[in-house]
Structures are given as C-alpha cells and as structure tokens.
C-alpha cells in the first residue's frame, strides 16, 4: 500500500513537470532561481496537495528542477486523492480551451471578452496579484462543457509554470460548485 501511494505521488510530480515542458515553459524560462508553491484542492478530498517546483540554474541552458508533492490524509484518501488531484491538474492545465487561450495571452486586456478558435469564450476581468504575481482574472467557458466554467488568473510572467489560479466550477441546479482548484500560494524569483 505504501509503495503504491509513493508511486502515485512520484507519477504525479513527473507528470506535472512533463506538462510544464510540453507547454514550452522551459524554452521560455527567463533564467534565475525560482520557487512556485501551488495548492491543489478537490471536492472528493478533504486534504489539499501542496505542489512545489524549484528551478536552479547550473549553466547557460542547464537547470536543476526539483518538484515535490505534500499531502496528509487517510490511506483511502491518499490512494485516490493524490493521483486524481495531480491527474486532474494535468488535464485542466492542458485542456484544449486553455491551450488556445495561452496563444493569445500577450494580447489579453482587462474587462474584455474573447472568443477562441475552438468556440470557447474568455471573459477577462480585473488586474490583480496572486502571491505577488501580476495577473488578469477571468472566466473561461467552453460550449462542449455547458455545465462547467473555469475561473482563471493568467500571467505573462514566464517564470510561473502554471496559471496562478485555475478553478473548475460545475453547475448543479442554480448553483456553481467548485470541484477543483489549482492555486499559487507562494512565488519567489532571483537572478
């Protein structure tokens, strides 16, 4: 049982690290030492997952990347919660709509609506800060998922590996219920 849980934690960390690579994160990384700490919460678990990514330059284009996951929970929660939370983070960060939105990121202005090529819609809101990082908040909706919305905070900071906020809400009757959140808690950067 313990080996299975450790495998899931390692599998999730490797998967998120691979996702950052796939999204062009390391090709665009500005250099320097950075640390990002995210909290992953999900409706099915009472225990949040802390995901930390530390990047340390070694030479011109060589870095050491350290990712860790920390979660405390019952055996049952650890068996399903860690894997599900990290897998869901991978799926949501790499969703078709969010991938399309990232292409337009430099052009996004506050309080403006955007229709993406896949038919999704992003309603940009106000500028804000999360963990000291400048963001534009907004809501992403996808016609393929009419009972879901994604509350986002996007940043142009190329040292931040994932959106500072990615919250999935599902419509249940007349209410929106948050079922998943990936949120930046801490960010630091030095040259």
Residues 95 and 163 sit within 8 Å (Cβ to Cβ): no
SS3 letters for 128-153?
A: EEECCEEEEEEEEECCCCCCEEEEEE
> Residue 87 sits in which domain range?
2-190
Domain count, the chain: 1
Burial of 190 (0-12, 13-18, 19+ CB in 10 A): exposed
Instruction: Provide the residue-wise pLDDT of the chain in tens; the chain has 191 residues.
Output: 444 444 444 444 444 444 454 458 888 999 999 999 999 999 988 889 999 999 999 998 899 999 998 888 888 777 766 667 777 787 788 788 888 888 889 999 999 999 998 899 999 999 999 999 999 999 999 999 999 999 999 999 999 999 999 999 999 999 999 999 999 999 999 98
Q: pTM of the entire structure?
A: 0.84
What pLDDT shows up at residue 18? 45
What pLDDT shows up at residue 159? 96
- The string over 34-69, giving b where at least 16 C-beta atoms fall within 10 Å of a residue's C-beta and e elsewhere, is bbbbbebbbeebebbbebbbbbeeeeeeebeeebeb
What pLDDT shows up at residue 82? 63
62-70: strand order across its sheet:
62-70, 49-59, 33-42, 175-190, 165-172, 148-154, 133-141, 121-130, 113-115
């Amino acid at each position: 049982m313990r080996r299975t849980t450790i495998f899931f934690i390692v599998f999730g960390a490797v998967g998120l690290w691979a996702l950052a690579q796939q999204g062009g994160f390391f090709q665009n990384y500005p250099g320097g030492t950075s640390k990002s700490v995210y909290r992953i919460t999900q409706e099915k678990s009472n225990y949040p997952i802390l995901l930390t990514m530390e990047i340390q330059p070694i030479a011109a284009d060589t870095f050491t990347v350290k990712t860790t996951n920390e979660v405390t929970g019952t055996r049952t929660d650890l068996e399903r919660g860690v894997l599900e939370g990290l897998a869901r983070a991978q799926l949501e960060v790499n969703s078709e709509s969010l991938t399309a939105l990232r292409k337009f990121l430099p052009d996004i202005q506050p309080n403006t609506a955007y229709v993406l090529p896949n038919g999704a819609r992003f309603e940009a809101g106000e500028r804000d800060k999360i963990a000291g990082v400048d963001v534009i908040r907004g809501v992403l909706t996808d016609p393929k998922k009419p009972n879901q919305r994604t509350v986002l905070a996007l940043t142009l900071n190329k040292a931040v590996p994932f959106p500072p906020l990615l919250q999935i809400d599902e419509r249940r009757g007349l209410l929106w219920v948050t079922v998943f959140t990936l949120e930046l808690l801490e960010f630091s950067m030095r040259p």
